[in-house]
Amino acid sequence: MLDYASEVMALEQLAKHELAMGSLYQFYAQKYPEYSEFWNELAQEEISHNIWIRELASQKFEGKLNLNEEILKQWKGIKYSTDYIEEQINSLVADSYPMFEALSIALYIERELIEKGYFESFSGGRNHISQLLLKLSRETNEHIKRLSELWTQLKPKGDKSKSRYNLKGIAEKLPEI
């Protein structure tokens, strides 16, 4: 059985993760000015996701939202992912990496949210809650699509990797979430 404080902590961590993604995308917009519109649009959407998750938290406070047991296992992974995003921002301040690698990192993080089922860890009887969760999932999938399309355009010529995402070296840096 989940205790109330743990449920709130999990929601808060997920909200922080969305803000961190927004910050990363804003930083990418500055670092890669030729793609600033692309990154700024994603950043704005992440800020909206944060607001939606905070709305879910308010539903929790009103007793209209339940979290399943899996969220407790996952919130630590979300925290590690948030910390990793902050490390990426800090590393870009000190150094730089190619736009292609930025796309690969963003793709990996967005895909993990879907694959680990973070938005499926909640349930509520109200249609509004279900719609909000569905919207979060859809928009995250849309981010994956847009990132993947640009990734494909920028994929280095002659890259023969069979992997859809060139994450060699990147995946080792990311925590398991």
Query: Residue 101 is part of a domain; what is its CATH number?
Result: 1.20.1260
pLDDT at 150: 95
pTM of the model: 0.81
Domain that holds residue 133: 4-154
Q: Residue 54, Cβ neighbours under 10 Å: how many?
A: 15
Position 172 in a domain: no
pLDDT at 163: 40
Position 12 in a domain: yes
67 bridge partner residues: 122
As a three-state string, the secondary structure of 9-55 is: HHHHHHHHHHHHHHHHHHHHHHHCHHHHHHHHHHHHHHHHHHHHHHH
Position 97 in a domain: yes
123 bridge partner residues: 66
Position 166 in a domain: no
Cα(43)–Cα(36) distance, rounded to whole angstroms?
Answer: 10
Position 148 in a domain: yes
pLDDT at 36: 97
Q: Please give the tally of structural domains in the chain.
A: 1
Position 125 in a domain: yes
Cα(170)–Cα(5) distance, rounded to whole angstroms?
Answer: 34
Q: Which uninterrupted H or E stretch holds 158?
A: none
Using the Cα atoms of residue 135, residue 50, residue 76 and residue 91 in order, give the sign of their dihedral.
Answer: positive
Tokens 């963003």 found at: 106
Position 54 in a domain: yes
pLDDT per residue of the chain (177 residues) written in tens, 0 to 9: 556 677 777 778 889 999 999 999 999 999 999 999 999 999 999 999 999 888 877 776 666 666 666 655 666 778 888 998 998 888 888 777 889 889 999 999 998 877 776 666 555 555 566 677 788 889 999 999 999 999 999 887 766 554 444 444 444 444 454
Position 19 in a domain: yes
Helix (H, G, I), strand (E, B) or coil at 67: strand
Using the Cα atoms of residue 164, residue 170, residue 173 and residue 174 in order, give the sign of their dihedral.
Answer: negative
